Structures are given as C-alpha cells and as structure tokens.
Structure 1
Amino acid sequence: MQAKNRFVIVFVIFSVLAFNTTTSYGFTNNITVNIPSRTIYFVSQMMSKLYPIAVGKIVSTSPLGTYRIINKQVNPKWISPWTGEVIPSGPDNPLGYRWMGFYSDYGIHGNNMPSSIGTLASSGCIRMYEADVEELFDMVNYGDIVNIVYQTMFIKTSPTGGKALFVYPDFYKKGLNTRQSIKSQLQNYGIKVSYDTFEKLYKYINVKDPLVFSEGYKVVKSNELVSSDVYRSQDGQFYMDVGDLKGYLNIDDEKIKDLKSVSVDNVSYVNIDDIANLTGLKFVVDNDTNTIKMIGNVIYYDGKFLSTTNYVDYQNRDIYIPIKEFFTAAGHTVEWDSQKGVIVDGKSIKYKIYESKSYINQKDLKSLYGLNIIIDSSSNKIYIKRD
C-alpha cells in the first residue's frame, strides 16, 4: 500500500465532491482482478489481455469490490507504513516505476521483486511485472473501472472441444470450493467425473494450483487447457490427441510429420516425449491429480509455431529468440563468421550465445526489422508479427 498525507487525501476527496458532482465518463476500459487465479484481465474497445499478478496476503487481503482509477503516477515514491521512511523511485522502491490508484491507499503497481508475481505477497495492492504494468499504464485512463473479484472456478475448453473445470485455491477461506459447488459446475457443463476420480482429486483441493477436474489425464499450460484427451499405454507412456497438439500450438503438419502416432478409437495420439523432443517443451506428470503440465515459452511467427526459448525475463521483457529458427522462417540468409559472428543477409547483428546456440533479444529484433512483437506473460507466449 502506498502511504499518503491524510490531509491531502481529505482535500482531494472534498474537491471531487465539490467540483465534480456531475462527473460522467465516456467509454471506460475494464480491469478485472481475480484473486484466486492471480490475474488481471484488461478489456478496451481495441483489445483484451491477461496479465499475471501478485495479490494481498491472507493477513492483508486485497479489497473486493468495484472501483475506478483515481490517480496515476510515473516514478512514484513509497512511504513505509511502518517506519515512515520515504523511498524515492528506483530499484529499491517496491512500487516499481508505475502506480495506478483505485481506492484509498490501494493501487496497481510495478515491483522490485519479480519472483513474487503469481503469489500472495502484498499488503493488499496489486503487483505486476514492471514491463507489464508500464504497458497497462499507457492504456488505462482516469475513471476506468477496476473490479476486484473472487472467482475460484473456470470452465476451460481444449482446441478439439474437450472440457475441464479449473479450481483455484480458496486462499481467503470463503468456503467456495465445496464438494457440492464443484459437482454442480461439472454437471452444468456436462463434464463427467466418476466418484473415485472426484474423491482422488478433491483430496488436493486448495492445495494444488489449479486443481483440474475431468475424467482421466489432461494436459494444462498456465491457465489453459491444452488437452483433456490423453491416452496412457500399457507401459505407462502418455500420448496426447494430435488435434489438440495442432490446435493449441498452431503447428504445421510438416513440422510434426515425423512424429510417431498411435490410433485409439479412430483418434490419433502422439507421445508427449516426442513432442518435447520436437518443440523443446517440457512435460511434468502429476499422478496424484492426473495432470500433465506443459512448460515452456512458446514463440509464434505470423501466427504459426516457430520454436521455444528458455531465455526469458518477463520483468524487463528481455526475451531471446533463436536466430536460426526465426531468420530461416522469415526467409533471410543466416551465416556464421569466425570473426564477425552471426551474419544475416550479409550484415552482422547483435547476438548472445547460450548452450552453443545463438539468440537475439526481442527488443533488438523489433528495432532492426520493424516487427510487431506481443509478449503474453500470463501464458508464456511470444507473438512475432510482420506489420
């Protein structure tokens, strides 16, 4: 929370009441903060986008309700509510470099501890990655609506139409994740889960994050359902529906033509280990909850799967793109010169070497070639588009 001079707050409130009694707003953007999923969903006339956040701790919960953006600050100072110490803008300031106040001393702001994003860490404010909050700051206007909600259950759909119920922990202990409430949601959306499966999963309610209800194994990535159609062979190998693989990654048939597939009940499946070897994605199996987590930062070029990258810093958007994969797909000639390093179309470019492979920073790529690069830190996806 940002500490302020109380006299100033009283004066500002009086001023609003005295001089803006007929305040009206044109179109307002909508910012929905959901506590259990630790996300912000921003909607404007032009776009919508999901961001990961940190929210209030159990002992200092974020305030539920509907508010409006009442102030915006670049390079805010922070006043410690415990010591009164004033921390100027800079790397030691826990507010980061942007502040959007919405109620009393509460606001949406940056941070100097990016590892806290995705957790319950604040004194009630909403923390974002610094690069994300700077992007949001430029889109948000005074008067925009801020809804802070508490929704633990979401129905998710896979590319082939499979469904699963994602249940996030009831951190603030509001009693939402009862057996009956979950069963009602499953019934409402036609998701059949046997008694044994339900009881197996429910043991981990409010512990596993998120807990995904469907029959059998499923593949999930961040807040998304990749596939609810997973085949497990007699030797314990896991195979995913080819349709879900192609639909989720938007990967060409040409790229997956060499993957071995098996057919079960006229559905084609591919081994998740083979998918991992092809794409660079990782799969982590949780047998307690019949969940397979897909992990990795996925890069798309003109909407199609390009590659993955392990070298990302979402706080500052220092994200590195594999040079060979990108420039080959974009139709450029890539060469290696022992003296000049990486040469693209006869010109040397700035690069870094990781594990014997050359990468270019997305910021340099954008600057050099005028590309439109969209970073989705909530689902760990990077979209590279030609304008």
Structure 2
Amino acid sequence: MSTTAPWRRSVLLLTYLLLPLTSQAQPDQAPLRIVAARTTRPDHLELLLEPPSGTGPLEANQIQLLEDARATSRATAVTPFRSAGWTFAAVLAIDTSGSVRQYLAPVTIALPKFIATVPQDDALAVVTFDDTVHDVAPFGSSRDEMQARLARLRTSGKRTLLYHALDQSLTEVEARSGDRIRRRIIVISDGADESGDAPAAADNVILRAAKSHVAIDTIWVGRPVASTRNTLVRLAERTGGIHNDAINPAQVDADVAAALRRVIDTVNSSVVASFDRQIQTTAATREIGVSIARPGIAPATIALQVPRSAAAQAPPPLPTRERKDDRSSAPIKWIAGLLASAIVVYVPYLLLYLRVQRRNPERLFLFPIKPW
C-alpha cells in the first residue's frame, strides 16, 4: 500500500499533467537577414534583405526600420532583387582531395547544370583545393570554358587545404567592384581541413567573410564524420550561408543540385527595402534593424552608422504606479492561467481513470499517478 500522502499525490499528478504545458517552448522564429546596406544620399537608405524561405511577397508597409532598437519609419518601397539592379557573384570552391574520390564525379554532373541556370549578368568563378589551391576558372571566364574545365576535374593529393581555399575565394569575390552585388562562396567538401593551420583559422575566415558581407554556403560530401560536418555547418551559420548534406553516394548529384537550387532561390527571393527619412544632422546610429509584420519571422540587425531619423525618439516611460500595478498583477494572471490549465487537463484524466477502474481495473498500471 502506498504511503504517499494524498496531497503529495495531487501535487505529483498536477506536475505530471502540466509539465508539457509549462515547458512547451514557443515555436522558433525563422531568421531574417540584412545582407547589405546602401546609402546613395544621407536621407535615403537601401537594405538588401533575405526573408526566410516561403515568406511570399512583402509590402512596403510591412517592413519596419529599427534604429538602435527603436522603431522609426516604414519602408517606402520594396523591390525584388533582380528588378532592383542587384547581381550575384560567387566562387565555387570544390574539394578535389583523395578523400572525396567517390563523390567528385556526381558533383561534376550537378555543377554544369547549375551554371547553365545562372543569369549571364551574374559572375561565377571556380577554385579547387587538395594539397594546394587551383584557380580553375577565374571571374570573366566564359560559361562554356568553365563547364569544360569542370568536366576534366580529377581528385589528387593527400591533404585538404579548406581554409586556404576559403581565403583565396574571399580575395577573389571581394575584388568584385560594385555596391549592388550579393557575394557568396559555395563550398563542396568533406570539411576536413588538413592545412595544419592554427585552430583560429576558421574564426579568421568567418570574421573576414562577415566583415565583407560574404555568405559561405556549404555542401557536405564524403565520409559521414560528424566533426567535419560541424566545421561546414559553423562556416555557413556564422556568415549567413546555407548548409546542406550530400553524403549518400547513390544520390550525390541530385542532393548537390538541390542544394545549389536552394542557394540561387535564396538569392532570387531577396528584396531591397528602401527608406526615405527625415534625418538629424548631429546624431548617428550604432545599429540598424528591420522587423517584418509577419508571424514567425525574427527581426534582424547589423552594425551600421547612418544619420539618425528625426523621429527616433525614446517612448515616454509609464507612470510609476502603472508599472508597479502591472508587475503585481503578473503573478496573479500566471496562477489563474495555471489553474485553468489544471482543470482542463485534470478532469479528463480523472474521468478516464474512473472508467478504467470500473471496467478494466487490470489496466490501471497505465496511469502513473492516482488522481486523489
């Protein structure tokens, strides 16, 4: 016979029933990214935004500008990436070391198809890396020449100089002049850097890419070793890139093709939000942010100094009494909500317990706690 006091059993039951309710997290918000900023004149600001996948068309009045976390003005216009005169520049960095021998052939099948879909106004380059970094097709190479060189790729060498390849790719893509260019590096590798560089090499690459507003997209091929995947995931997440896996040898070409489509779809779905503002002449922002009036989309911020809007005023503080009343009523509201949840969950549990007790008492073991 159980010696647990009735009140203790009740507490245990409520805890058991309400735990899923109290611990249920809010749904994760999809990230919005501010990719680049452009100021043609002090009172005009353009922000290149990458909305989450599936966001759909945005209206200008749905885009709110935040200056040092304070809401100021709504966008005056929102223009699709291509219509706004922006272009795409990317370096394809392909691992050709011996560790990806099984995967290189299907990769070279997927890449030419991707290149054929990229508009001619966009710029592409190709580097490969193994024991050294090879400049296979620099920016300015014709698409036919690029595809022919990809078809001739073979694995060689015993090491993977991943970070050296990323440094060279950054140098090339940073050299693309123009203020309306979305710069990316697309890496296809098993992620195992064997350059012997210091552990901080990855951090240095990430810092440099973030400073230059270059996204590093990563596609993981090769042996399924979690530590190497983590390297690629970190490079993508910390630079605003996209990570994909393509480690099933039977479908590498399809997985790589899907990953490349995801990158170009992200570029094409970007928008340019324009803000025309009345500005102050004596104050500048430290940070610019954007929020979108759509559920499930997190605001985004970047460090940016621009003249502050004349409307950027701090909201007036609430009276002391009102703030105190709000704080004192919060626990009461929380307790009331908890009790209401307890009733909603406890009553069906009790009725079901009584029904089983009367008709199938041998199944009472299914109830972890007696309801009284």
TM-score by length of 1: 0.25
| Greater per-residue helix proportion | 2
Query: Which structure has the greater CA radius of gyration?
Result: 2
Q: Does 1 or 2 have the higher relative contact order (CA < 8 Å, sep 6+)? A: 2
| Greater per-residue strand proportion | 1
